[in-house]
Amino acid sequence: MLQRLPGAVMDRFLSLNLRTQMMIMILLMAIGSMGIILYSAQRQREADFREAAHLSLNLATLVHNDQKVLLSGAEQLLATLSYVEAVRLRDVPEVNRILAGLLKKSPQISNLLIIAPDGNVWASALPIHKPINAAERRFFQAALRSGRFSSGEYTIGKVLSKPTLSFGYPILDQQGKVQDVAVAAFTLTNYDTLLSSRNLPPNTSLLLLDHEGTILFGNKARELAGKKDRPDLFDSMKEGEQGTFIARNNSGIKKVTAYRKVYLKGESEPYMYVRTGIDEEWVVKKTSLPLMVNIAVMGAIVLLTALMALYISKRAILDKVRALREAAQKISAGDLTVRVNHCVAGGELGELGTAFDGMAQQLSVDIERRKRAEAEALAKGEELDRYFNNSLDLLCIADTRGRFRRLNPAWETVLGFPLDRLVGQNILDLIHPDDVSATADAVATLERRGDIQSFTNRFLHADGSYRSIEWHSVRPDGNIIYGTARDVTEKIKAEEEKLQLERQLLHAQKLESLGVLAGGIAHDFNNILMAIMGNAELALMRINKESPAVDNLQKIEQASTRAADLARQMLAYSGKGKFVVENIDLNRLLQEMLHMLEVSISKRALLKIDLHPSLPQMEADATQIRQVVMNLVINASEAIGDDNGFISIKTSSLKCDRSYLKKAWLEVDVPEGEYICLDVSDNGCGMDSATRNRIFDPFFTTKFTGRGLGMAAALGIVRGHRGAIIVDSEPRRGSSFRVLFPAADSTADIGEAVIRQESWKGSGTLLLVDDEDAVRGIASEMLQQLGFNLLTASDGMTAIELFAANPQVGIVLLDLTMPHMDGERCLVELQKIRPDVKVVMSSGYTEYEVTRKLSGKQLAGFIQKPYRLNALVEALRPIA
């Protein structure tokens, strides 16, 4: 900075004594430092405001995401509720009981209702003391109009008399018309817990508003609930999906404010606004205190520096400079005996004094020292040559054009070429073509920076293969490069194999979690299906064969059978079941599914199907293959979204070799041979590499309402059939999934199961044990239909008491999975009372799993849930 001053001012400054110059420099430094402190404080304050805005927006986003997850669960709950038979039959007591049970398991929901098309509430999780009509409510009208999950507005709930935000889900009859509207109501008070669990600035505020600006919830101003937001504040949230601004809130406190809009799928208007705020006063205080501390510290430093400058200028500089000046004059006169180290010691001036003292001595011994240095260099050169030739690492010297000038013998061992062929050759001539560009860039970096710490490329071996070489290189001067390298081919291969194994292990663990979930659902689902299938079968036996209801009952049986198949496949995921494998025609299966696929995809998507003629058959479970096709097609439809597009389904056969099968996801170990190809492709949004690497992870999804199970289940099914999946996708270029199934050897057709009616009758007393009321009810009717005298028990303890009190019991039909005392323990206790008791175990799991679990327990038989009357006959006839 001083060099830019006018010449006269600079001359005047340099003419001042050293102390004055030091004081002026200290003053200038203090002024500059003070400016930096003030500037930094201003920038810090701006950064604090940005941080507050970011923190506020993060909180709004957290609430936004939490609300999305909450609504996704509520929609799924209402959708599931719409399929409950009691709801469709309007069985009010049963539906009220179901709703009350669901409400206890969903603490975030304040009430569950079902409303008729005229607006009258006919079912509620909480008791209703007077008739309620919701015909004017926004959520009810929107659900009737749109036929989908819809949002409401702020209201005072007529059941709880609390501020409520409700959402409606239309329940459709078989003709697609709205039969009822299922409703989930929320009081939105759970966000107090969310705020208290996070480390937020004091007085952080959170407001939830409906689409009209009515305040639903406020953690700092609960009295505002139900009131309209200030118009200027509400208008500030109209632009964009999210944003930040600074304004005074409804209480007059200036806040750094952020907002997020919350939408329901299919609604163009947000049903909720999330607004958060952090006090501006908190942001200002963060900056003010450090500023005052910095100014005080700076003042103290300037004062201390000035005092030290006065002392140092004399003792450390002026006195030593005078002694050095006198010594320099003597040395210039030829007096090499002068010494100043005794009066000039310490610091840079002390080093200069030491240099003066050594100058004369250096002149007298210079020739001798030069000769000694040359001898040492020669000895070191011989040592380096021995090291160079005997090193197991690859050592080389090359020029900046990339030509080898010298190599050690290790190169011949690693690459198989003689050294005389390698010396003089350009490095790039030996590099793998894919690595030439990167190697050239590395050489350019070496020329620019002088060293490369680590770099790997592939070198040609004499046998035609390539070896991976890891480099460490330096360029000490302008034309020479020194390099050390090591053959890391085996190391890289081992690391790749380890990474592949870890990925497969991780995915296996994720699939295991999916299996546990599927097994639990299938077990409970089987009990429900038991009641449906049994009642339908008994009704068919008792009803007049000419009744028009016969066709409906048969359809119920067919649908229940299909549902039971699905439950068995879910057990297969959990490791508690197995596939029902048979020879199937993939073309025929796709033709049967065509209508279902067309109604399942977006109306904007065109479904194209291309079936290869004379397609070989495959050994597979038809239900599982249907699920794979459905998952892939729905996934393609969701990728197209609201845009126009197409979905292509194509079949073919292909002979696959090892190189082609390596393209499969996780490179599954499937044998070479003929495979049946199912190609499902779309022109949707596509996927980037990060998404492609996770699409088969359980619970991974890119959708707000998804469960993330479809693709993981599809992969599990395909791998269970000894097949593989190849994925090809790029962003904005669509996706293609190729599923490979091994072709079957035989050509058997899929046959229809024949249900055999039984006329066999049993006799004697039978004890039925099951914790599910529905299962006990239908099983009792079946057993009485077969002629048994019946005793029933709802748990293991009751069963033991009844068995001990009724010695005439000849057979026990025992459920495996019960609370308190399960079937295995109950079986042991029954055999203690009477060792020869005939026990038939019933379970949703397969006979293989149950008999393995109860090995050595002497079961008289087994029947798998859900079972029909003829299956019951087959299980009891041999022992009755």
Please report which residue ranges of 191-244 form alpha helices under DSSP H. 191-196, 231-235
Question: If you compute the radius of gyration of the chain from its CA atoms, what whole number of angstroms results?
Answer: 42
pLDDT score recorded for residue 705 = 45
Tokens standing for 287?
Answer: 């900056």
Ordered alpha helix ranges (H), 313-346: 319-332
Using pLDDT thresholds of 50, 70 and 90, give the confidence band for residue 269: confident
Burial 443-479, CB ≥16 within 10 A → b, else e: beebeeeeebeebbbbbbeeeeebbbbbbebebeeee
**Cβ-contact 132, 120 below 8 angstroms:** yes
DSSP3 helix / strand / coil % (the chain, rounded to 5):
50, 20, 30
Q: Are 590 and 611 in contact (CB under 8 A)?
A: yes
Q: Parallel, antiparallel, or unpaired: how do β-strands 838-843 and 809-815 relate?
A: parallel
Contacts of 658 (CB under 8 A, 6+ apart): 672
Most confident of 274-288, 390-404, 798-812: 798-812
pLDDT tens-digit readout, 619-676: 888 878 888 898 899 888 888 888 889 999 999 999 988 888 878 875 556 788 899 9
Averaged pLDDT for residues 359-368: 57
What percentage of the chain exceeds 70 in pLDDT?
77
Among the listed residues 861, 867, 855, the one whose alpha carbon sits nearest the alpha carbon of residue 879? 861
Walk me through the domains of the chain, giving residue ranges and CATH numbers. 51-282 (3.30.450.20), 337-390 (no CATH), 391-487 (3.30.450.20), 582-742 (3.30.565.10), 765-876 (3.40.50.2300)
H or E element that contains 745: none
Q: Is 665 left (phi over 0), alpha (psi -120 to 50) or beta?
A: beta
Q: Global pTM?
A: 0.35
Using the 8-state DSSP alphabet, how is residue 610 labeled? Answer: E
H helices present in 694-835, as ranges = 710-720, 773-785, 796-805, 823-833
Q: What are phi and psi of 395, to 5 degrees?
A: -120, 140
State the number of CA atoms in the 13 A half-sphere of 455 facing the CB. 23
Q: Which amino acid is at 288?
A: S
Which residues are within 8 A (CB) of 182 and not within 5 positions of it... i.e. 6 or more apart? 78, 81, 82, 87, 112, 113, 114, 115, 168, 169, 170, 171
Name the pairing type of β-strands 480-487 and 466-474.
Answer: antiparallel
The residue ranking higher by pLDDT, 826 or 190, is 826
Residue whose pair of structure tokens reads 């206890």 in the numeric block: 104
Distance CA 88, CA 114 (A): 11
pLDDT greater at residue 197 or residue 640: 640
Q: Which of 211-225, 310-324, 682-696 has the lowest mean pLDDT?
A: 310-324
Give the contacts of 641 (CB within 8 A, at least 6 positions apart). Answer: 602, 684, 685
In this structure, of 107-121, 566-580, 794-808, the range with the lowest mean pLDDT score is: 566-580
**Residue 460 has what pLDDT?**
86
Question: At 207, is the secondary structure helix, strand, or coil?
Answer: strand
The continuous run of DSSP H or E covering 38 comes out as helix 18-81
Number of helices and strands (H, E) in the chain?
A: 25, 27
Neighbours of 277 (CB within 10 A): 29
Contact criterion met (CB below 8 Å) for 392 and 363:
no
Tokens of 351: 């080093």
Instruction: Describe the strand order of the beta sheet including 605-610 as a list of residue ranges.
Output: 605-610, 645-656, 673-682, 735-742, 724-729
Structure tokens at 57: 């927006």
Quote the crossing angle between the two packed helices 710-720 and 622-640, to the nearest 10°: 140
When mean pLDDT is compared across 164-178, 623-637, 671-685, 698-712, the lowest value belongs to: 698-712
pLDDT per residue as tens digits for the range 38-75:
777 777 777 777 878 888 888 888 888 887 887 788 88
Q: Which amino acid is at 707?
A: R
Cα 779 to Cα 769: distance, rounded to the nearest angstrom:
10
Residues 6+ apart with CB under 8 A from 318: 18
Q: What confidence score (pLDDT) does residue 866 get?
A: 84
Nearest one of 351, 276, 227, 321 to 58, comparing CA atoms? 276
Q: What is the pLDDT of residue 805?
A: 93
Q: Is the dihedral of CA 557, 558, 560, 561 positive or negative?
A: positive
Cβ neighbour number for residue 877 with a 10 Å cutoff: 14
Please say whether the beta carbons of 253 and 283 come within 8 A: no
Chain mean position to CA 827: 44
- DSSP-derived letter for residue 267 is -
- Torsion-angle region of residue 732: left (phi > 0), alpha (psi -120 to 50) or beta? left
Q: Which of 27-36, 288-297, 324-333, 798-807 has the lowest mean pLDDT?
A: 324-333
**Percentage of the chain lying above the pLDDT 90 cut:** 11
Mean pLDDT of 74-91: 85
The CB-based long-range contact list for 264-267 (8 Å cut-off, 24+ gap) reads: 264/71, 264/149, 264/150, 264/151, 264/167, 265/148, 265/149, 265/704, 265/705, 266/146, 266/148, 266/149, 267/142, 267/150, 267/151
pLDDT score for 296: 77
Q: What is the structure's pLDDT at 578?
A: 47
First and final C-alpha spacing in the chain: 110
**What's the confidence (pLDDT) of residue 681?**
93
Average pLDDT on 298-322 reads 71
Query: What long-range pairs does 419-428 form, CB within 8 A, spacing at least 24?
Result: 426/401, 426/402, 427/398, 427/402, 427/403, 428/402
Residues 6 or more apart from 158 whose CB is under 8 A from it?
Answer: 132
